[in-house]
Protein backbone atom coordinates (compact mmCIF):
# COMPACT_ATOMS: atom_id res chain seq x y z
CA UNK A 1 0.00 0.00 0.00
CA UNK A 2 1.35 3.42 -0.86
CA UNK A 3 1.80 5.80 2.03
CA UNK A 4 1.60 9.57 2.23
CA UNK A 5 4.59 11.16 3.89
CA UNK A 6 2.63 14.39 4.24
CA UNK A 7 -0.25 12.67 6.04
CA UNK A 8 2.31 11.17 8.34
CA UNK A 9 3.54 14.70 9.21
CA UNK A 10 -0.06 15.83 9.77
CA UNK A 11 -0.66 12.88 12.08
CA UNK A 12 2.51 13.52 14.07
CA UNK A 13 1.51 17.19 14.43
CA UNK A 14 -2.00 16.28 15.58
CA UNK A 15 -0.78 13.67 18.04
CA UNK A 16 1.71 16.07 19.54
CA UNK A 17 -0.55 19.10 19.77
CA UNK A 18 -3.34 17.02 21.32
CA UNK A 19 -0.89 16.27 24.15
CA UNK A 20 -0.05 19.95 24.62
CA UNK A 21 -1.77 22.79 26.39
CA UNK A 22 -2.00 25.71 24.03
CA UNK A 23 -1.90 29.24 25.42
CA UNK A 24 -1.20 31.16 22.21
CA UNK A 25 -3.87 33.89 22.16
CA UNK A 26 -4.20 33.88 18.34
CA UNK A 27 -5.29 30.27 18.02
CA UNK A 28 -8.32 28.18 18.87
CA UNK A 29 -10.04 24.94 17.98
CA UNK A 30 -13.17 24.61 15.87
CA UNK A 31 -16.17 22.58 16.94
CA UNK A 32 -16.56 19.03 15.54
CA UNK A 33 -19.45 20.27 13.38
CA UNK A 34 -17.47 23.19 11.97
CA UNK A 35 -14.61 20.79 11.19
CA UNK A 36 -17.02 18.55 9.38
CA UNK A 37 -18.26 21.47 7.27
CA UNK A 38 -14.73 22.55 6.38
CA UNK A 39 -14.02 19.08 5.00
CA UNK A 40 -17.27 19.07 2.96
CA UNK A 41 -17.73 19.22 -0.83
CA UNK A 42 -18.04 23.00 -0.58
CA UNK A 43 -14.24 23.13 -0.51
CA UNK A 44 -14.20 22.02 -4.15
CA UNK A 45 -16.62 24.62 -5.47
CA UNK A 46 -16.81 28.09 -6.90
CA UNK A 47 -19.50 30.69 -6.94
CA UNK A 48 -19.58 34.33 -7.92
CA UNK A 49 -22.06 37.14 -7.41
CA UNK A 50 -22.85 37.42 -11.13
CA UNK A 51 -24.05 33.81 -11.42
CA UNK A 52 -21.24 32.72 -13.76
CA UNK A 53 -21.02 29.22 -12.24
CA UNK A 54 -23.86 26.67 -12.17
CA UNK A 55 -24.56 24.28 -9.29
CA UNK A 56 -24.60 27.01 -6.68
CA UNK A 57 -28.20 27.04 -5.44
CA UNK A 58 -27.22 25.82 -1.98
CA UNK A 59 -23.92 27.68 -1.72
CA UNK A 60 -25.64 30.96 -2.59
CA UNK A 61 -28.18 30.28 0.15
CA UNK A 62 -25.25 29.55 2.50
CA UNK A 63 -23.60 32.92 1.83
CA UNK A 64 -26.81 34.80 2.54
CA UNK A 65 -27.43 32.88 5.76
CA UNK A 66 -23.88 33.41 7.07
CA UNK A 67 -24.13 37.15 6.38
CA UNK A 68 -27.41 37.29 8.30
CA UNK A 69 -25.96 35.33 11.22
CA UNK A 70 -22.92 37.63 11.39
CA UNK A 71 -25.15 40.73 11.44
CA UNK A 72 -27.32 39.21 14.16
CA UNK A 73 -24.45 38.12 16.39
CA UNK A 74 -22.52 41.40 16.17
CA UNK A 75 -25.43 43.84 15.82
CA UNK A 76 -24.22 44.95 12.38
CA UNK A 77 -26.19 46.21 9.40
CA UNK A 78 -23.83 44.83 6.76
CA UNK A 79 -21.41 41.87 6.86
CA UNK A 80 -18.67 40.87 4.43
CA UNK A 81 -17.92 37.24 5.18
CA UNK A 82 -15.88 36.59 2.04
CA UNK A 83 -12.69 38.05 3.53
CA UNK A 84 -9.94 35.43 3.61
CA UNK A 85 -7.95 36.67 6.63
CA UNK A 86 -7.84 39.25 9.38
CA UNK A 87 -4.98 40.93 7.57
CA UNK A 88 -7.08 41.23 4.46
CA UNK A 89 -9.90 42.70 6.51
CA UNK A 90 -7.50 45.41 7.71
CA UNK A 91 -6.31 45.99 4.12
CA UNK A 92 -9.90 46.28 2.90
CA UNK A 93 -10.51 49.11 5.39
CA UNK A 94 -7.30 50.83 4.29
CA UNK A 95 -8.32 50.67 0.62
CA UNK A 96 -11.98 51.50 1.20
CA UNK A 97 -11.48 54.37 3.60
CA UNK A 98 -8.21 56.08 2.72
CA UNK A 99 -6.13 57.26 -0.21
CA UNK A 100 -2.43 57.61 -0.84
CA UNK A 101 -0.70 60.15 1.41
CA UNK A 102 -3.53 60.01 3.98
CA UNK A 103 -2.57 59.76 7.63
CA UNK A 104 -3.56 56.49 9.32
CA UNK A 105 -3.47 56.17 13.08
CA UNK A 106 -3.10 52.94 15.02
CA UNK A 107 -1.42 51.49 18.13
CA UNK A 108 2.31 50.95 17.64
CA UNK A 109 3.63 47.38 17.33
CA UNK A 110 5.92 48.27 20.26
CA UNK A 111 2.80 48.74 22.36
CA UNK A 112 1.09 45.61 21.12
CA UNK A 113 -0.37 47.04 17.90
CA UNK A 114 -0.68 44.97 14.75
CA UNK A 115 2.59 45.33 12.79
CA UNK A 116 1.08 46.50 9.51
CA UNK A 117 3.45 47.60 6.76
CA UNK A 118 1.76 50.48 4.97
CA UNK A 119 4.89 51.65 3.12
CA UNK A 120 3.99 50.01 -0.24
CA UNK A 121 0.53 51.58 0.02
CA UNK A 122 1.94 55.10 0.40
CA UNK A 123 -0.02 55.94 3.55
CA UNK A 124 1.50 57.86 6.44
CA UNK A 125 1.40 56.01 9.71
CA UNK A 126 1.06 57.81 13.04
CA UNK A 127 1.00 55.82 16.25
CA UNK A 128 -1.13 56.35 19.33
CA UNK A 129 0.59 57.63 22.46
CA UNK A 130 0.53 54.73 24.92
CA UNK A 131 0.43 54.38 28.69
CA UNK A 132 2.60 51.34 29.40
CA UNK A 133 1.72 51.17 33.07
CA UNK A 134 -1.99 50.80 32.32
CA UNK A 135 -1.38 49.00 29.01
CA UNK A 136 -3.76 51.25 27.12
CA UNK A 137 -3.94 54.21 24.78
CA UNK A 138 -3.10 57.47 26.57
CA UNK A 139 -6.44 59.18 25.93
CA UNK A 140 -5.52 62.83 26.53
CA UNK A 141 -2.33 62.63 24.45
CA UNK A 142 -4.21 60.70 21.75
CA UNK A 143 -6.93 63.36 21.51
CA UNK A 144 -4.21 65.96 21.07
CA UNK A 145 -2.37 63.90 18.44
CA UNK A 146 -5.56 63.32 16.46
CA UNK A 147 -6.38 67.04 16.47
CA UNK A 148 -2.84 67.81 15.29
CA UNK A 149 -2.31 65.13 12.64
CA UNK A 150 -5.92 64.83 11.37
CA UNK A 151 -5.87 61.18 10.35
CA UNK A 152 -8.32 59.99 7.73
CA UNK A 153 -8.60 56.59 9.32
CA UNK A 154 -8.13 55.42 12.90
CA UNK A 155 -7.67 51.79 13.90
CA UNK A 156 -8.41 50.77 17.46
CA UNK A 157 -7.76 47.25 18.72
CA UNK A 158 -4.45 45.44 19.01
CA UNK A 159 -2.57 42.15 19.00
CA UNK A 160 -1.59 42.49 22.65
CA UNK A 161 -4.94 43.50 24.04
CA UNK A 162 -5.60 43.38 27.78
CA UNK A 163 -8.09 46.19 28.36
CA UNK A 164 -10.91 47.78 26.33
CA UNK A 165 -9.74 50.69 24.21
CA UNK A 166 -11.21 54.16 24.77
CA UNK A 167 -13.51 53.93 21.76
CA UNK A 168 -15.98 56.60 22.91
CA UNK A 169 -13.32 59.21 23.60
CA UNK A 170 -11.46 58.53 20.34
CA UNK A 171 -14.69 58.57 18.29
CA UNK A 172 -15.60 61.97 19.72
CA UNK A 173 -12.41 63.64 18.49
CA UNK A 174 -12.45 61.54 15.29
CA UNK A 175 -15.84 63.10 14.45
CA UNK A 176 -14.35 66.56 14.86
CA UNK A 177 -11.58 65.85 12.30
CA UNK A 178 -13.85 63.69 10.09
CA UNK A 179 -11.85 60.50 10.57
CA UNK A 180 -13.45 57.06 10.33
CA UNK A 181 -12.91 54.76 13.31
CA UNK A 182 -12.32 51.09 12.59
CA UNK A 183 -12.15 48.62 15.47
CA UNK A 184 -9.80 45.72 14.74
CA UNK A 185 -11.33 43.02 16.92
CA UNK A 186 -9.12 40.23 15.56
CA UNK A 187 -8.26 39.07 19.05
CA UNK A 188 -11.47 39.82 20.87
CA UNK A 189 -14.30 39.06 18.41
CA UNK A 190 -15.32 35.98 20.43
CA UNK A 191 -15.51 38.08 23.58
CA UNK A 192 -17.48 40.82 21.84
CA UNK A 193 -19.87 38.21 20.44
CA UNK A 194 -20.40 36.91 23.98
CA UNK A 195 -21.05 40.38 25.41
CA UNK A 196 -17.70 40.68 27.22
CA UNK A 197 -14.89 43.21 26.86
CA UNK A 198 -16.55 46.13 25.01
CA UNK A 199 -19.20 47.06 22.44
CA UNK A 200 -17.38 48.85 19.61
CA UNK A 201 -20.53 49.79 17.64
CA UNK A 202 -22.42 51.15 20.66
CA UNK A 203 -19.31 53.09 21.66
CA UNK A 204 -19.10 54.75 18.24
CA UNK A 205 -16.92 52.74 15.83
CA UNK A 206 -18.27 52.50 12.27
CA UNK A 207 -16.46 49.29 11.31
CA UNK A 208 -15.71 46.14 13.29
CA UNK A 209 -13.36 43.70 11.58
CA UNK A 210 -10.82 41.00 12.25
CA UNK A 211 -9.81 37.36 12.22
CA UNK A 212 -12.43 34.68 12.76
CA UNK A 213 -10.19 32.17 14.55
CA UNK A 214 -8.75 33.68 17.73
CA UNK A 215 -11.19 34.21 20.58
CA UNK A 216 -13.93 33.63 17.98
CA UNK A 217 -13.38 29.90 17.52
CA UNK A 218 -14.03 29.67 13.80
CA UNK A 219 -12.02 28.64 10.76
CA UNK A 220 -8.99 30.74 9.81
CA UNK A 221 -10.33 33.73 7.92
CA UNK A 222 -11.57 37.28 8.24
CA UNK A 223 -14.75 39.32 8.52
CA UNK A 224 -15.80 42.94 8.04
CA UNK A 225 -18.92 44.27 9.79
CA UNK A 226 -20.49 47.68 9.28
CA UNK A 227 -22.68 49.47 11.78
CA UNK A 228 -24.87 50.95 9.03
CA UNK A 229 -25.17 51.26 5.26
CA UNK A 230 -23.16 54.43 4.97
CA UNK A 231 -19.79 52.85 4.13
CA UNK A 232 -21.18 49.78 2.37
CA UNK A 233 -20.57 50.98 -1.18
CA UNK A 234 -16.93 51.81 -0.42
CA UNK A 235 -16.31 48.34 1.00
CA UNK A 236 -18.18 46.76 -1.93
CA UNK A 237 -15.66 48.36 -4.26
CA UNK A 238 -12.77 46.45 -2.66
CA UNK A 239 -14.52 43.29 -1.45
CA UNK A 240 -17.11 42.92 -4.21
CA UNK A 241 -16.98 41.95 -7.84
CA UNK A 242 -15.00 42.46 -10.09
CA UNK A 243 -12.37 41.43 -7.58
CA UNK A 244 -9.81 43.69 -5.94
CA UNK A 245 -8.96 41.81 -2.75
CA UNK A 246 -11.12 38.68 -2.92
CA UNK A 247 -12.31 36.49 -5.76
CA UNK A 248 -12.98 32.86 -4.78
CA UNK A 249 -14.48 33.02 -1.31
CA UNK A 250 -13.68 29.50 -0.02
CA UNK A 251 -17.16 28.18 0.64
CA UNK A 252 -16.04 25.46 3.06
CA UNK A 253 -14.50 28.12 5.31
CA UNK A 254 -17.75 30.03 5.10
CA UNK A 255 -19.81 27.01 6.14
CA UNK A 256 -17.54 26.44 9.15
CA UNK A 257 -17.79 30.12 10.01
CA UNK A 258 -21.59 29.99 9.81
CA UNK A 259 -21.72 27.05 12.21
CA UNK A 260 -19.35 28.85 14.59
CA UNK A 261 -21.64 31.91 14.52
CA UNK A 262 -24.69 29.72 15.21
CA UNK A 263 -22.87 28.14 18.14
CA UNK A 264 -21.81 31.53 19.47
CA UNK A 265 -25.42 32.70 19.41
CA UNK A 266 -26.28 29.81 21.73
CA UNK A 267 -23.15 29.37 23.86
CA UNK A 268 -21.20 32.62 23.33
CA UNK A 269 -22.12 34.35 26.58
CA UNK A 270 -21.13 31.45 28.80
CA UNK A 271 -17.94 30.82 26.78
CA UNK A 272 -16.77 34.45 26.80
CA UNK A 273 -17.42 34.85 30.54
CA UNK A 274 -15.39 31.74 31.36
CA UNK A 275 -12.49 32.86 29.15
CA UNK A 276 -12.10 36.09 31.12
CA UNK A 277 -12.53 34.32 34.47
CA UNK A 278 -9.85 31.84 33.41
CA UNK A 279 -7.46 34.59 32.29
CA UNK A 280 -7.82 36.35 35.62
CA UNK A 281 -7.36 33.09 37.56
CA UNK A 282 -4.23 32.18 35.59
CA UNK A 283 -2.76 35.66 36.07
CA UNK A 284 -3.50 35.64 39.80
CA UNK A 285 -1.77 32.27 40.32
CA UNK A 286 1.27 33.30 38.29
CA UNK A 287 1.51 36.56 40.20
CA UNK A 288 1.29 34.72 43.53
CA UNK A 289 4.04 32.44 42.22
CA UNK A 290 6.35 35.45 41.90
CA UNK A 291 5.90 36.04 38.15
CA UNK A 292 5.85 39.60 36.85
CA UNK A 293 2.39 39.68 35.28
CA UNK A 294 1.41 43.03 33.77
CA UNK A 295 -1.17 45.25 35.46
CA UNK A 296 -1.91 43.67 38.86
CA UNK A 297 -3.38 47.07 39.88
CA UNK A 298 -6.04 46.65 37.16
CA UNK A 299 -6.86 43.00 37.87
CA UNK A 300 -4.35 41.88 35.16
CA UNK A 301 -6.80 41.71 32.25
CA UNK A 302 -10.34 42.00 30.95
CA UNK A 303 -9.73 39.90 27.83
CA UNK A 304 -8.51 36.37 27.08
CA UNK A 305 -4.90 37.57 27.30
CA UNK A 306 -2.41 38.14 30.06
CA UNK A 307 1.14 39.39 29.68
CA UNK A 308 4.20 38.09 31.48
CA UNK A 309 6.95 40.69 31.57
CA UNK A 310 9.89 38.38 31.08
CA UNK A 311 12.68 40.99 31.10
CA UNK A 312 14.63 39.62 28.14
CA UNK A 313 13.97 35.93 28.94
CA UNK A 314 11.06 35.66 26.47
CA UNK A 315 12.62 33.20 24.02
CA UNK A 316 14.14 31.12 26.81
CA UNK A 317 10.78 30.90 28.59
CA UNK A 318 8.88 29.99 25.39
CA UNK A 319 11.39 27.18 24.78
CA UNK A 320 11.27 26.01 28.38
CA UNK A 321 7.47 25.81 28.35
CA UNK A 322 7.43 24.07 24.98
CA UNK A 323 9.67 21.34 26.42
CA UNK A 324 6.93 20.85 29.02
CA UNK A 325 4.24 20.69 26.28
CA UNK A 326 2.90 24.15 27.15
CA UNK A 327 2.75 26.21 23.97
CA UNK A 328 3.13 30.01 24.09
CA UNK A 329 4.42 32.75 21.78
CA UNK A 330 7.67 34.67 22.18
CA UNK A 331 6.02 37.74 23.63
CA UNK A 332 4.75 35.58 26.51
CA UNK A 333 1.21 36.76 25.97
CA UNK A 334 -0.89 33.91 27.32
CA UNK A 335 -4.44 33.36 26.06
CA UNK A 336 -7.14 31.27 27.75
CA UNK A 337 -9.61 30.95 24.84
CA UNK A 338 -8.50 27.48 23.70
CA UNK A 339 -8.18 25.90 27.15
CA UNK A 340 -11.63 27.30 27.93
CA UNK A 341 -13.01 25.68 24.77
CA UNK A 342 -11.54 22.44 26.04
CA UNK A 343 -13.53 22.78 29.26
CA UNK A 344 -10.88 24.03 31.67
CA UNK A 345 -11.98 26.27 34.51
CA UNK A 346 -10.40 28.15 37.41
CA UNK A 347 -9.19 24.90 39.06
CA UNK A 348 -7.09 23.99 36.00
CA UNK A 349 -5.87 27.59 35.64
CA UNK A 350 -4.50 27.37 39.17
CA UNK A 351 -2.72 24.09 38.34
CA UNK A 352 -1.31 25.51 35.12
CA UNK A 353 -0.29 28.78 36.78
CA UNK A 354 1.62 26.88 39.45
CA UNK A 355 3.40 24.66 36.93
CA UNK A 356 4.35 27.63 34.73
CA UNK A 357 5.60 29.67 37.72
CA UNK A 358 7.74 26.78 38.94
CA UNK A 359 9.21 26.31 35.47
CA UNK A 360 9.99 30.00 35.03
CA UNK A 361 11.43 30.24 38.54
CA UNK A 362 13.67 27.21 37.85
CA UNK A 363 12.08 25.23 40.69
CA UNK A 364 11.15 22.38 38.34
CA UNK A 365 12.53 21.09 35.06
CA UNK A 366 10.32 20.77 31.93
CA UNK A 367 11.09 17.06 31.71
CA UNK A 368 9.76 16.57 35.26
CA UNK A 369 6.35 18.10 34.53
CA UNK A 370 5.78 17.06 30.91
CA UNK A 371 4.01 13.78 31.74
CA UNK A 372 1.77 15.63 34.16
CA UNK A 373 0.87 18.20 31.46
CA UNK A 374 0.12 15.38 29.02
CA UNK A 375 -2.19 13.73 31.55
CA UNK A 376 -3.98 17.03 32.18
CA UNK A 377 -4.31 17.61 28.46
CA UNK A 378 -5.77 14.12 27.93
CA UNK A 379 -8.58 14.91 30.36
CA UNK A 380 -9.66 17.87 28.24
CA UNK A 381 -9.90 16.62 24.67
CA UNK A 382 -13.57 17.50 24.06
CA UNK A 383 -14.68 20.81 22.59
CA UNK A 384 -17.22 22.68 24.72
CA UNK A 385 -19.65 25.54 24.01
CA UNK A 386 -20.75 23.93 20.73
CA UNK A 387 -23.42 21.68 19.20
CA UNK A 388 -23.10 18.03 20.22
CA UNK A 389 -24.33 14.74 18.86
CA UNK A 390 -24.07 12.66 15.71
CA UNK A 391 -24.24 14.81 12.66
CA UNK A 392 -25.42 13.63 9.27
C1 LIG B 1 -4.85 42.96 15.72
C2 LIG B 1 -4.62 42.07 14.54
N3 LIG B 1 -5.12 42.43 13.34
C4 LIG B 1 -4.96 41.66 12.25
C5 LIG B 1 -4.29 40.47 12.32
C6 LIG B 1 -4.12 39.63 11.08
O7 LIG B 1 -4.99 38.57 11.14
P8 LIG B 1 -4.76 37.20 10.30
O9 LIG B 1 -3.69 36.45 10.99
O10 LIG B 1 -6.11 36.55 10.38
O11 LIG B 1 -4.41 37.60 8.91
C12 LIG B 1 -3.74 40.06 13.52
C13 LIG B 1 -3.00 38.78 13.56
O14 LIG B 1 -2.60 38.23 14.49
C15 LIG B 1 -3.92 40.87 14.67
O16 LIG B 1 -3.43 40.51 15.86
pLDDT (0 to 100) of residue 1: 64
CA distance 234 to 317: 45
What is the C-alpha R_g of the chain? 21
Cβ(159) – ligand 1 distance below 6 Å: yes
Q: Give φ, ψ of 131 to 5 degrees.
A: -100, 100
Question: Domain of 239?
Answer: 33-261
- Ligand 1 atom index nearest CA of 88: 11
Q: Which of 137, 158, 209, 211 to mutate to test the pocket of ligand 1 (most atoms within 8 A of CB)?
A: 211
Instruction: Identify whether residues 46 and 23 lie together within a single domain.
Output: no
Instruction: Identify whether residues 227 and 284 lie together within a single domain.
Output: no
pLDDT (0 to 100) of residue 238: 98
Q: Does residue 332 come out as left (phi exceeding 0), alpha (psi in the -120 to 50 range) or beta?
A: left
Cβ(214) – ligand 1 distance below 6 Å: no
Eight-class DSSP state of 8: H
Integer angstrom CA distances of residue 172 from 93, 94, 187, 233: 20, 21, 24, 24
> Residue 346, class by beta-carbon neighbours within 10 Å (0-12 exposed, 13-18 middle, 19+ buried)?
middle
- Ligand 1 atom index nearest CA of 161: 1
Integer angstrom CA distances of residue 173 from 148, 198, 304: 11, 19, 29
Residue 86 C-alpha to ligand 1 middle, in angstroms?
Answer: 5
Cβ(107) – ligand 1 distance below 6 Å: no
Atom 16 in ligand 1: residue holding the nearest Cα: 159
> Residue 12, class by beta-carbon neighbours within 10 Å (0-12 exposed, 13-18 middle, 19+ buried)?
exposed
Rounded to the nearest angstrom, the gap between the alpha carbon of residue 196 and the centroid of all alpha carbons in its chain is 14
Burial 133-155 (b: 16+ CB within 10 A, else e): eebbbbbeebbebbeeeebbbbb
In a domain, 184, yes or no: yes
Integer angstrom CA distances of residue 237 from 91, 93, 202, 240, 241: 13, 11, 26, 6, 7
Cβ(158) – ligand 1 distance below 6 Å: yes
pLDDT (0 to 100) of residue 349: 98
Cβ(184) – ligand 1 distance below 6 Å: yes
- Residue 272 sits in a domain whose CATH number is 3.90.1150.10
Q: Which of 114, 182, 213, 335 to mutate to test the pocket of ligand 1 (most atoms within 8 A of CB)?
A: 114
Angle, helix 346-360 to helix 314-323, in steps of 10 degrees: 120
In a domain, 47, yes or no: yes
CA distance 23 to 313: 18
Cβ(222) – ligand 1 distance below 6 Å: yes
Residue 215 C-alpha to ligand 1 middle, in angstroms?
Answer: 12
- Residue 110 sits in a domain whose CATH number is 3.40.640.10
Instruction: Identify whether residues 363 and 318 lie together within a single domain.
Output: yes
Query: Is the pTM for the entire model greater than 0.75?
Result: yes
In a domain, 243, yes or no: yes
pLDDT (0 to 100) of residue 317: 98
Cβ(157) – ligand 1 distance below 6 Å: yes
Cβ(377) – ligand 1 distance below 6 Å: no
Cβ(211) – ligand 1 distance below 6 Å: yes
- Ligand 1 atom index nearest CA of 159: 16
Q: Which of 94, 111, 156, 159 to mutate to test the pocket of ligand 1 (most atoms within 8 A of CB)?
A: 159
Give the residue from 216, 235, 261 where a domain finishes.
261
Instruction: Identify whether residues 193 and 279 lie together within a single domain.
Output: no
pLDDT (0 to 100) of residue 140: 98
Residue 154 · residue 106 · CB < 8 Å: yes
Please name which of 109, 160, 188 lies closest in space to residue 309, comparing C-alpha atoms: 160
Instruction: Identify whether residues 90 and 235 lie together within a single domain.
Output: yes
Integer angstrom CA distances of residue 212 from 110, 208, 278, 299: 24, 12, 21, 27
- Binning the chain into helix, strand and coil, the percentages to the nearest 5 are 50, 10, 40
pLDDT (0 to 100) of residue 392: 61
Counting the structural domains of the chain, the total is 2
In a domain, 6, yes or no: no
Chain length of the chain: 392
Instruction: Identify whether residues 176 and 37 lie together within a single domain.
Output: yes
**CB within 8 A of 293, min separation 6: which ones?**
283, 286, 287, 300, 306, 307, 308, 309
Please name which of 24, 307, 344, 304 lies closest in space to residue 164, comparing C-alpha atoms: 304
pLDDT in tens, the chain (392 residues): 679 999 999 999 999 999 999 999 999 999 999 999 999 999 999 998 888 999 999 999 999 999 999 999 999 999 999 999 999 999 999 999 999 999 999 999 999 999 999 989 999 999 999 999 999 999 999 999 999 999 999 999 999 999 999 999 999 999 999 999 999 999 999 999 999 999 999 999 999 999 999 999 999 999 999 999 999 999 999 999 999 999 999 999 999 999 999 999 999 999 999 999 999 999 999 999 999 999 999 999 999 999 999 999 999 999 999 999 999 999 999 999 999 999 999 999 999 999 999 999 999 999 999 999 999 999 999 999 999 976 66
Amino acid sequence: MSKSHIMDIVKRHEDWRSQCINLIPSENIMSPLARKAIASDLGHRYTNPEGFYRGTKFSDELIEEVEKLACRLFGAKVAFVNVLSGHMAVLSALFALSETRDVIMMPSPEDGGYPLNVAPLARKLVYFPFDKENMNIDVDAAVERISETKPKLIFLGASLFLFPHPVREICKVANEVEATVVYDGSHVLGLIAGGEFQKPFTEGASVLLGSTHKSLPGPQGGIVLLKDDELAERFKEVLGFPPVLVDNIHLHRLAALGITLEEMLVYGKEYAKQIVKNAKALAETLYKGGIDVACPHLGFTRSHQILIRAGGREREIANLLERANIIVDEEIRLGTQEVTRRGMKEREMKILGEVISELINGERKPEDVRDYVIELSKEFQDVHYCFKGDFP
